[in-house]
Structure 1
């Protein structure tokens, strides 16, 4: 019965939500590109000869309007997980239709398979880059009560919006930087110690980190601006950096 309820909660999460927006996803892909091993870089270039990871990272969101059944019926749950407050992902698991963790596992199998087509491997690679980014956005580990913050209405810098959108894009876009400027800015602040500390390919670790942040970012006041930006933009920047390193680590592990 509990598993059934989690499935219902997951279905209630809007399939139209995006994570990080295009700028944020491209930043994670661009950072990852800088930390690939030569072997991983060669394999990825052979699979996507005219596409870097920054471009690949946004593909699953860009295809949401594709009328094909895969994009309209199956792919929506791949972008998030649902964990009620006080629970962990291992305690809850995935609903019947799957989630970001199960999709990551399946796409990893495809990428490693000697029998999968090149087209299937291209899709798998794009989704892997995207899903890892998604799981580092705190509200893509929603608690099932407000569609990952989509139903939590706020006024951000005097514009009506919702908390999910603030974290997807508005925190980042407020600085008026391109994704290449963000990548340069954040990459300079990633130390060798950061890389070693963040190297983990276990999505349960990423999700636990996102849950901890998720539980701290709901504002008491619905009108938020400079104070909220000051307190939480550093968290968003840290998650982008961590996602980039972990995308690279994950792909380096696949191609080792």
Structure 2
């Protein structure tokens, strides 16, 4: 990973008005904000050293913003945001398929980034960039279509209309379902983050592989109920809003657990 720290802030503000990927601006910030509220004392201190005074939500979308960079420096990171897996019969089959994936992907790179952050030989700048990517990609993990199928690029080739607007299935899950609720990211984080300590602990159980399988199973449900050409509106919100909110909450709580364990 190359250090281009001098471009970091400029790219955030240039690209923020152009692109919205993955969970979209609101979704990624919700996940980061919920995670921030569940960090251990040590994790808070270490993250503050790396990111400064800004909350994690401030940086949560940067790995999407840099997709607008024309230098080619970040081109290799595009594949880090997803892992394509066809429907699997059970967790064992899913895990085997997941670990057999060739090339960089969401699963492999989360592990690489964690190792870079732990490695004392990694420069401060590269540790910072690795942390920013990790915050974002752990959010991607909970977006079902980021564990979708290769033949349709995680739903990007499945054409639908959403309240009469032509779009695709991936975009519906990236931001349209979230933004339809008209909450700010801080409002939504506050509304969702209401689980008891025992419930939080339960949600945070499992491994990275378990969490990816969780999203993969939801992706299969989404595919089954959203064929190409679907006309989506209030009934679709009724079917999937609770699941969308679950994924935002789980994404935030599991990001916190991953960071607490990392530090």
Partner residue of 1:199 out of 191, 196, 204: 204
Gaps of 5+ in 1: 1-15
TM score, norm. by length of structure 1: 0.88
In the alignment, which residue of structure 2 is the partner of 1:172? Answer: 178
Counterpart of 1:160 in 2: which secondary structure?
A: strand
In the alignment, which residue of structure 1 is the partner of 2:239? Answer: 231
Partners of 1:230 and 1:43 in 2: CA distance:
41
Partners of 2:79 and 2:212 in 1: CA distance:
15
Alignment of 1:26 with 2:34, yes or no, is: no
Superposed displacement of residue 201, structure 1 = 6.2
Superposed displacement of residue 198, structure 1 = 1.4
Superposed displacement of residue 254, structure 1 = 1.1
Partner residue of 2:218 out of 213, 217, 233: 213
Looking at secondary structure, tell me which structure has more helix per residue. Answer: 2
Superposed displacement of residue 229, structure 1 = 0.2
In the alignment, which residue of structure 2 is the partner of 1:78? Answer: 80
Give the aligned CA root-mean-square deviation in angstroms. Answer: 1.7
Moved more, 157-166 or 78-87: 78-87
Partners of 1:241 and 1:91 in 2: CA distance:
27
Q: Determine if contact 1:90/1:204 at 8 Å carries over to the other structure.
A: no
Superposed displacement of residue 181, structure 1 = 1.1
Deviations 1:159-197 (A, max 9, x none): 11111000000001111111111111111x322232111
Superposed displacement of residue 107, structure 1 = 0.7
Partner residue of 1:102 out of 104, 108, 117: 108
How do 1:2-151 residues align onto structure 2 when only pairs under 5 Å count? Answer: 18-72=21-75, 74-86=76-88, 88-93=94-99, 95-151=101-157
How do 1:179-190 residues align onto structure 2 when only pairs under 5 Å count? Answer: 179-187=185-193, 189-190=194-195
Q: Determine if contact 1:155/1:161 at 8 Å carries over to the other structure.
A: yes
State the number of aligned residues: 238
Deviations 1:217-255 (A, max 9, x none): 132561111111011011010011001011111111111
Q: Which runs of 4+ in 1 moved over 6 A?
A: none
Gaps of 5+ in 2: 1-18
Cα 1:200–1:60 change in 2 (3 A) is farther
Partners of 1:171 and 1:61 in 2: CA distance:
19
In the alignment, which residue of structure 1 is the partner of 2:168? Answer: 162
Q: Determine if contact 2:113/2:134 at 8 Å carries over to the other structure.
A: yes
Counterpart of 2:201 in 1: which secondary structure?
A: helix
Partners of 2:134 and 2:202 in 1: CA distance:
21
Partners of 1:113 and 1:42 in 2: CA distance:
18
Superposed displacement of residue 94, structure 1 = 5.2
Superposed displacement of residue 144, structure 1 = 1.1
